Each structure stands twice: as C-alpha cells, then as structure tokens.
Amino acid sequence: MVMQERAVRTRAALIRAAAEEMDRWGYEGATLTRICATASVSMGALTFHFSTKDELAQAVQESGGAYMTDLVDGVAARGRPALRSVVDLTVGLARLLQDEVVVRSAARLTRERPDGHSWTLFWLPAVRDLLQKAADQGQLRRPGEPRAVAALAVYLMAGAEARCRAMIGAGGGGDRDVAEEMDLIWELTLEGVAAGSG
C-alpha cells in the first residue's frame, strides 16, 4: 500500500517535471535526463512509469486537459448568462495558462507532437455552444454571428498564450496579469471600442 502511494507520487512528480521541461524546451528539445533530475527520480523509475518520451508527453497533455475540462464544467455549473460564461471561461483559461505549467505545456505540445490535436479542442466546443445559446437568447448584437465571436475568442486565447510565454521569457512576473488583461479586453470588445458605436 505504501509502495503504491509512492508510485503515484513518483508518477505525479515525473509529469510535473516533464511539463516544466517541455514547456521550456519544447517536445524535441526536452531531455529525459533533465526530467529525471528535476523530479529527483532515477532513469529506471522513469522508464518503469513511461516507456517513451511520447508516453510522458501524452500524460502531460492529459493532465493539462483535465484542468481545462474541470474549468469548463465549473463554468457550466455556475450557470451565468451564456455570453458572460464565455468571458469567464477564457479568463479562467488565461489564468490556467499563467499559473499551471501542465496546461501551458499541454498547449505547446498539442502544436508540436505529430498527432497533436489543437488544445482548443478542450474548450472551443463549449465556447461554441455557449455562443449559440447567447445568440438564441438575444445576448449578441449580431445574432447571426456566433462563429465570428468564437473566432475572436480563439484569437484572444492565442494572445493570452503568447503573453504568458513572453512574460516567462522576460524572467516572469512583471506588473501585468494575463487573466486581468483578458478580462479588460473582453470588457472593451463587449461594449465596443469605437466611439459612437451602438
């Protein structure tokens, strides 16, 4: 029993170390040696849990995906108006990208692995459903364009990811918070940037 608990902890430490390594160096650049060192685990223990780098990357993506799925479910459970839920979801995703290395790493890996599906698959279907509902309920200025608003959400999330990476590249921290920035940008876009709009 104690052995099993230890195995679970080792596995979790390896996934986190792999996420840090792959977030920083990418899939190709990541080395198993550095992952072992970061996790304080022997190469034998690593290969016991994950026989290939690809398996480890898969585990990182699943772990990051679980965070995103939890967020999507949480926003749905809150039951706020559909358009507001889209904002909550993307602001929450920006916060996850900023704070959770497994999420950031999963986003990067889905681009770099040969069979990688886009990380938008974890949340874009929910955004599309919410925007259709928002259109049906008259929450959109242009009811015919939930698809265009979904494209806006995808662009903004790419912006949030780029901002997170730029901040990390610049040594992290700084005075800006990506989730707050995303919230502010939505506020502008919901009500309109141009004077005399409306």
Amino acid at residue number 132: Q
Residue 126 within binding range of its own copies, rule CB under 8 A: no
Could you say which of 13, 152, 167, 168 contacts its own copies (CB under 8 A)?
Answer: 152
Residue 152: Cβ-neighbour burial (10 angstroms; 0-12, 13-18, 19+): middle
* Residues that contact its own copies, how many (by CB under 8 A): 44
**CB-count exposure of residue 157 (10 Å: 0-12, 13-18, 19+):** buried
Start-to-end CA distance of the chain, whole Å, equals 65
Calculate the dihedral angle through the C-alpha atoms of 115, 120, 121, 126, rounding to the nearest 10 degrees: 180
71 binds its own copies (CB under 8 A): no
x/- map, 95-124, its own copies, by CB under 8 A: ----------------x------x------
In whole angstroms, the minimum distance from the beta carbon of 176 to its own copies comes to: 9
Report if residue 184 touches its own copies, rule: CB under 8 A. Answer: yes
Non-local CB neighbours of 197 within 8 Å, separated by 6+ positions: none
| Closer of 104 and 163 to its own copies (Cβ) | 163
Footprint on this chain of its own copies (rule: CB under 8 A): 28-29, 83, 111, 118, 138-143, 145, 148-149, 151-152, 154-163, 165-166, 169, 181-182, 184-185, 188-198
